[in-house]
Structure 1
């Protein structure tokens, strides 16, 4: 176990200072150059002539990305590249009208004919919304003869024109849309289409940081935005690490950067975006989106939701959750009071959330792993003589995931051993059957959610959060929390095992020869129960009267 210093809790990019200082002179890196998989797939589509004339691109489903792909493809070929945002068969295939005699009087060429020997870019969602159009698109890029659409269906043309075209198709959509498209046509990846995807992030190292910064430079110049100061780049990279949930990975999503840069430019003199402007833009964004987390915090402060951040309690621990609300862009952290009570029984652990149909499959899996670990640690020859019930108190919506397993385990062994848990410390982490603490998601939101509650209820200087050590690389805490950690008002402990966790939160070793260890205390209670002589029940007494 280790109490982490503040430098480990927020990204440090000083090793890139020389490159950042030279930001203005870096070569621009285009959207295509920052997407090596897309570049390779488009180059292959341009070069290959044969049966495979379709490319499926996993990408955010919006016109910005389709336009970016269109420009990227146009830079690789001199053949026509067009995109369409709607399906109108008359415009796509062309149309004709004829008279009563069957003679064609008017004929208009379609989009397919105009881009013959070229490329057509369409949205996967457009195809899904018009499933009857898919066989036509498939026939087009497979080179089968097709006919234009008649605008006078009551008259039959004597000679309907039929033509074959050489058109390559690029379908752009998100993963769910592509999955639906594959379901609609099981032959999609049997040779008629290749697949690639637009990457969300990139690993930033000393070798790649210039490439990354060149991409930022190209965005700024393409959209006529003020340049970035040295400190602003550092701030953007910290925000990027938080967004990607990894200190060494930066997002390469143009829209994410543009939303920040364009708003930050409102707080500048028009010449350069500095760190303060970036902070103002990020704070303004949080202010717009923070109604729900602020209301959740007020419920805790008003006592409507009970969260204790001081004192000790047997069988009760502060777990950490991440709240996602449909239609709301902000995920936020909130502490959850997890409690466990025990009673004589057959060793079963009752997962109240699961029984109430509020717990998901992953949560149930975590509970079973916890039970298996404790039984293994106690080295029992038979089931526990106790049963337990574990519950998320005041939780009224579905709970899923295994990130509360470590917290639930702490409450369980506290109830079994009768040792109290320090309520100043919150816990998050998954656990395997060997007691190793495993990484979980949403660390920044969880830590900040507990910090806000501690701050409003009163910081004691001993409050903090226990996290998996493997999660350290995911931290990019906000400035207020980092400042509090610097001042020793708040703490972060990283752990690798359950054995490291218990001494922090309960003040006792988990196992060992020490008679005060948690395992030893639990064994004593089990032994005491087994030696306990139960008084005869009423049935046994009645039987004895007749003996």
Structure 2
């Protein structure tokens, strides 16, 4: 287990500090400088010896991406007079042209060329969204690729006119669409998809000491392209920190032009000087959140008013604070929200009832997490017969679908607490997925989850005992706001990163999970962090074993209502 310091929750980029400070001296570079796969694919498409004349690019179907890809294509043209045309919104006429008849003289007609004719000998960039919505156009375009010719069609079938001979067309096509549309394209055209060149516009890049100058030069290229004020070194650093939240990885930086454009232009709007400072970037981020924060603040308000029950102090058996990320249709941001997960245990056949799943409010991944959790508990108890207790686990006051396995650690803690009759500290929230061996695995939306619980605790008053247990594998995704970082710095809020399930129990229950050597060592580490002395005490598994043993020896049965009823009927 590792207690996190305030320095570790905000990326510092100390290894590239010198390069960031040298930002003003860098030369602008285009985004393709860090798109090697895209560049390689376009270069292959433009090669005359290439057998394929169709390139599929997975990218958002938005003008910014078309422009960037068009600029990359222009760099590989053997001659500057080769046409490169964008075809973002089209119909049959604009794409293929046609022949208009003259009602007064059937021997004359007017020929109107389409984009295919205009791009003859060059490259045509086409929207996959529009193409799929008009399948007849794709059939005709596919014929052009196969035969290198395009037959003319009359624009008004009711008027006869002579049609010119088919045109010879030499064309290279780049089809741009998102991943779901590419999947549809592959389903409808599996053979063509197989022989096409395929690549992607990569949305982020792994930042190293070798490519950091290139990445900073690309940021400067965007700065020039979008016409914003020059960025200071501290502003660049703040943009990179916000980029970590976008990628959820401290080692990866965003290349998405829309994200960069939005943040730079917002900061440019905030700037009152000749340069964009870190303060301007910070204000752009906070103002954007202010405009989008209605739903998140309403959710917090429900908790503060007691309409949604979340305890941040005291202890309860079979109850734990889980952390969720809420995504609403039509709402631009995801936000973190704590949720109360409860478990009750009763006599039964060892089955764990997932209430969310039974009422169709949980997805398949959530169901998988529940099964994995149950498998770990069964293996840890090492029983030779079914557990004599059944359990019911539920997300309290949840009225929409729940999916994902990020709550499986919290659900496990609630179940074990109910089984052992050992209370859980409510000032600590938990997030993490578990495998069948008890290892804690990474989850998504970690920054939003932490901040969501922190705001609840802050509003009620930080007690100095509150904190969050999270997977150690999520440390590289952390980029928390300064309010949380300052609270951690002042020891008013804590983050504990764990690798195994057993490390959570000493923190939330005060008892170690089992009596193994590894568990004792984990307990010693927890005590060391908490400035407590190691002492011999009962374990969670020991309390569960005692309860099972009491059941099998009849102590529980003799006190049950059913036993008394049967005994009365027998006499």
TM-score normalised by L of structure 1: 0.96
Per the alignment, do residues 50 and 241 of structure 1 end up closer, same or farther by CA in structure 2, a change over 3 Å counting? closer
CA distance in 2, matches of 1:250, 1:159: 55
Distance 2:75 2:313 in 1: 62
1:528 aligns with 2:550: yes
Alignment pair present for 1:31 and 2:31 = yes
Name the CA shift for 1:325/1:316 in 2 (closer, same or farther; >3 Å): same
Question: Residues 154, 432 of structure 1: CA spacing in aligned structure 2 closer, same or farther, 3 A cutoff?
Answer: same
Number of the residue aligned with 2:53: 53
Give CA-to-partner distance per residue, 1:17-60, whole Å, 9 cap, x none: 21112111112221222211111111111114454111011001
Describe the superposition over 1:65-106 as per-residue Cα deviations: whole angstroms up to 9, x where unpaired.
Answer: 112211221221132101122223233323223467853432
Encode CA deviations 1:508-529: one digit per residue, 9 max, x unaligned: 0000075510001100010011
Matched, 1:386 2:389: yes
Match of 2:482 among 475, 479, 482: 479
Q: 2:147 aligns with which of 143, 149, 152?
A: 143
- For structure 1, which segment, 40-49 or 167-176, has the greater mean C-alpha deviation from structure 2 after superposition? 40-49
The equivalences for 1:19-168 within 5 A come to: 19-49=19-49, 51-77=51-77, 78=79, 79-98=82-101, 103-158=107-162, 160-168=164-172
What SS class does the counterpart of residue 168 from structure 2 fall into? coil
Using the TM superposition, name which of 479-488 and 509-518 deviates more: 509-518
Q: CA–CA distance in 2 between the matches of 1:174 and 1:497?
A: 38
- 1: distance between equivalents of 2:261 and 2:463? 41
Q: Deviations over 1:240-273 (max 9, x none)?
A: 0111101111101122112111121223234111
Question: Counterpart in 2 of 1:179?
Answer: 183
2:333 is the counterpart of 1:293: no
What is the distance in 2 between the residues matched to 1:167 and 1:427?
A: 57
Matches within 5 A, 1:386-465: 386-465=389-468
Aligned-residue RMSD, C-alpha: 1.7
Q: Offset of 1:500 from its aligned partner?
A: 0.8
Structure 1 residue 227 displacement after superposition: 1.1
In 1: Cα distance, 2:212 partner to 2:460 partner: 42
Q: Aligned partners of 2:273 and 2:31: how far apart in 1?
A: 25
| Equivalent in the alignment of 2:374 | 371
Q: Which residue of structure 2 lines up, in the alignment, with residue 262 of structure 1?
A: 265
Q: Give distance in 2, aligned partners of 1:261 and 1:201.
A: 17
Corresponding residue of 1:516: 538
Structure 2 unmatched runs, 5+: 517-535
Q: Is the 8 A contact 1:96 1:104 kept in 2?
A: no
- How many pairs are equivalent? 543
Residue of structure 2 equivalent to 1:504: 507
C-alpha separation in 2, matches of 1:268 and 1:398:
42
Are 2:152 and 2:163, in contact at CA under 8 Å, matched by a contact in 1? no
Which residue of structure 2 aligns with residue 12 of structure 1? 12
Q: What is the aligned counterpart of 1:362 among 342, 365, 374?
A: 365
2:245 matched residue in structure 1: 242
Distance of aligned partners of 1:538 and 1:512 in 2 relative to their CA distance in 1, 3 Å threshold: closer
Note the C-alpha offset of 1:158.
4.9
**TM-score of the pair, normalised by structure 2:** 0.92
Please state how far the C-alpha of 1:483 moved relative to its aligned partner: 0.5
SS in 2 for 1:383: coil
Superimposed CA distance per residue, residues 383-424 of structure 1 (whole angstroms, 9 cap, x where no aligned partner):
111111111111111111100010001011111111110001
Query: CA separation in 1, counterparts of 2:565 and 2:248?
Result: 63
CA shift, 1:175, in A, is 0.6
Q: Deviations over 1:425-464 (max 9, x none)?
A: 0000000111100111110000000000001111110100
Q: Which moved more, 1:346-355 or 1:7-16?
A: 7-16
Q: Partners in 2 of 1:162 and 1:429 — Cα distance? A: 63
CA shift at 1:489, angstroms? 0.3
Say if 2:357 and 2:367, in contact at 8 Å, map to a contact too. Answer: yes
Contact 1:53/1:168, CA 8 A, preserved across alignment? yes
